[in-house]
Structure 1
Amino acid sequence: MNTNHLKLGIWALLASSSLGLMAAQKPIVRYKILANSPEQHIQHFGASDAWSMQFLGLWPEKQQQKIADWLFSMENDAQGKPKGIGLSIWRFNLGAGSEEQGDSSQIQRGTRTQCFLNRWRM
């Protein structure tokens, strides 16, 4: 009886391993990019920072300009490498005034925002 179980186990192992090989042999899919025949024209390319840039205004002007170049520049450097990713649209959090509300806003300090209708503090 033990030999029958052993034979059955070996047979099941071989059968399952051959099924795995059959499943792994998928046809190769190839794609060809036709750069001279565009199907879509993108007019703008944008991103959103949510709260990630809210403290950028406190940085030195040189660092602010460098980040602006990385995000918006469409120029190339002397070696022909892009200076930036060429964004044309930038979304950000306008703020709801939770900074002015303080702890009563029940919003974590790091994600509170001032409202554009109020005078900003630095």
Structure 2
Amino acid sequence: MGDVTAKKLISHCGSAEEVFRNKARHLLKIDGIGSHALRNLQDKVYHEAAIAELEFIQRQNIAYTYFNDLDYPSYLKHCIDSPILLFKRGAIDLQGRKVISVVGTRNITSYGTAFCFTD
């Protein structure tokens, strides 16, 4: 499920937890939500993967900002497809400053490393 659909469900239900507590027949009444989007919502494999990801984030002490948090960048709140979570490292002020974000995988290629360190 993508960010747009997930945020639509969360906004309608009030929280991510409430999305999972709702019956699919109720969620299908939300404009723009179809059975394809909800197909794997209750699948234990995805639920277990999400728990494993959360545990990894906590074990590694990874800082993040949720799209409904007060410190989520206001300029991103206006983007329909902005990410639900922003992961960050270090003391970053995301309000009112120009920043560079890097989108990619956890296993960076040598090309990606070289690109990041180019003057």
State TM-score, norm by structure 1: 0.24
Larger Cα Rg: Structure 1 or Structure 2?
1
Q: Which has the higher contact order (CA 8 A, sep 6+)?
A: 2
State TM-score, norm by structure 2: 0.25
